[in-house]
Amino acid sequence: LRSSNPRLTSEMSVFQAIRASRVVPSLVPRGIAQAPLAAGPAALLRGVVSTATSSPVKLQSSQPLFSAPTLGAPMGQRHAGVSVLGCGIAMVAVGGCAQGIGQLFAALVVGMARNPSMKEDLFTYTLIGMGFLEFLAIVVILIAGILLYSE
């Protein structure tokens, strides 16, 4: 979708150069980077024309455009707030365990009120359920500690 109007085409190339300079500032030709924006589009056009006639920008293949940290590389900055946030979210499960223990003993009281002869069996089942909930709470606390002290 190219326009036949040369002025419109040159203005579009200026806008494309500005957009490219925002994305990859190291690839901007020097004439565009040094053109004053207050002078208007004419100065930018002169920069495009002058850089189009000069030598093209060469990319060095040995330098990457950006460098992402690898898995084995040490982090330069520790983000402690994120680990505290993860620990706090994990500790919500401890509240769920406490609520489960409360409901377990409430069910024990209701069951003993309905059938007092099953008192020993109901108490045994309650202790087994409480053991499962305590195990879950301990695992959650360990995971929260790992999240808190991890990087």
> pLDDT of 71-125, one tens digit each?
666 666 767 788 888 888 988 999 999 999 999 999 999 999 999 999 999 999 9
Report the predicted TM-score, pTM, of the whole model to 2 decimal places. 0.47
pLDDT of residue 55: 55
What does the pLDDT look like over 85-98, one tens digit per residue?
Answer: 888 898 899 999 99
Using the CB atoms, write b or e for 66-102: b if 16+ within 10 Å: eeeeeeeeeeeeeeeeebeebbeebeebeeebeebbe
16 confidence band (pLDDT: 50, 70, 90): confident
pLDDT of residue 105: 96
18 confidence band (pLDDT: 50, 70, 90): confident
Residue 35 in this model has a pLDDT that exceeds 60: no
